A and B are shown apart, each in its own frame.
Chain A
Amino acid sequence: MNWRGHSWLALAARLYLGWVFVYACLHKIAYPGMFALDIATYDILPLWVINLAAVTLPWVELFAGAMLIVGFRVRGASLAVAGMMVMFMVAIVIALDKGLGMACGCFASQTTEEDPISFLTVLRDSGWLFLAVYVAIFDRNAIGIDRLQKKRRNPHG
């Protein structure tokens, strides 16, 4: 639990996850209407929730991703990322179970041919979920702002 190597492994995981989430949110922030259509295509959420989710979710992705990159409130950010991953995976599994041949909508509004959902998508998301949970559990002294703040509070620690 206290092995120093965790911080470095977690740093690699954080930079990768952070980049994925920041990259994933850019198109959604620029075109909320298209993201709302992507959400609606999953046919899971009630109509009144769709636009609210389309407007808010990308910003959670952006800030959680950025916080992982700069190392600020890392465990909280990684839990937020893990929560989103669980949510996305449930949605994809439900869509697959319904037999919907549709695009993932994970990164941008792509066509079904370009980015179809499949169990490989679930596998990929499981990998990201694993990384987020690893960071949440083992990155106790995150390299970045968290560590600088700790040092400032306890300069002799």
Chain B
Amino acid sequence: MSAEAKKQTWFSGLGTALRDAVLITAACSVMGLLVNLFHPEKIPYIAEEEYETLVPCPEPGGEVTPLEATDPSIHAEDTFIVDARRKPEHQVWKLRDAMSIPYDYLEPIPDQTLKELIRRTQKTGARRVLVYGDGKDPDSGEQAGREISGKGIKNVFFVKGGAPALKGPEPGGGP
């Protein structure tokens, strides 16, 4: 074994290797740019418009349990009720003294509103939070419930079918 070979450490010749890596990258990049000129599927070097990427957003919030509209716990004293529908709908009809937290698919629930919800649940001694929404697909009640649960509030439920299911069949043949 030569003296030179004995002296080798793991970084011996690393400078040359790094230089080679940079040269490979540079040469291949130039080649890629040139090939693109004659490529049948060529693209502009600089994109002119934003790409429309369809990536599902992360699911908001945490776990939320569905309840049937006929479930007796809905009417229990220790259930705190949240109405996730829009304000005008809440003003027309609400379940008991439900707190109105209109759910917006684009905006998160304001921190101030969540603080108020926590304050009220503590004040009433509620053991569960029940959210009902418009009962559509997706249901604003379920979405709001997920967001509330994701903020750390435990025992969050939503009513399957939302307010229409709670109200029952409307006079005149409606659902």
Tell me the bound Cα distance from A79 to B23 in angstroms. 11
Known contacts A32-B42, A55-B33, A60 near B24 by CB under 8 Å: yes
When each residue 13-56 of chain A gets 1 if its CB lies under 8 Å from chain B and 0 otherwise, what string results? 00000000000000001111100110011010001101110111
User: Counting CB contacts under 8 A, is A140 at the interface?
Assistant: yes
Residues of B within 8 A of A1 (CB): 8-10
Choose among B35, B41, B58 the residue that contacts A33 (Cβ–Cβ < 8 A): B41
Q: How many chain B residues touch A (Cβ–Cβ < 8 Å)?
A: 41
Choose among A30, A48, A79 the residue that contacts B20 (Cβ–Cβ < 8 A): A79
Known contacts A48-B47, A51-B45, A52-B45, A62 near B28 by CB under 8 Å: yes
Interface contacts (Cβ under 8 Å), in number, total 123
Nearest CB in chain A: distance from B152 CB, A:
18
Residues of A within 8 A of B31 (CB): 59, 63
When each residue 132-171 of chain B gets 1 if its CB lies under 8 Å from chain A and 0 otherwise, what string results? 0000000000000000000000000000000000000000
Interface size class of A (residues with CB under 8 A): 35 or more
Nearest CB in chain B: distance from A138 CB, A:
8
Residues of A within 8 A of B16 (CB): 75-76
Residues of A within 8 A of B44 (CB): 51
Known contacts A32-B41, A59-B29, A73 near B24 by CB under 8 Å: yes
User: Counting CB contacts under 8 A, is B17 at the interface?
Assistant: yes
User: Counting CB contacts under 8 A, is A80 at the interface?
Assistant: yes
Residues of B within 8 A of A55 (CB): 32-33, 35-36, 43, 45
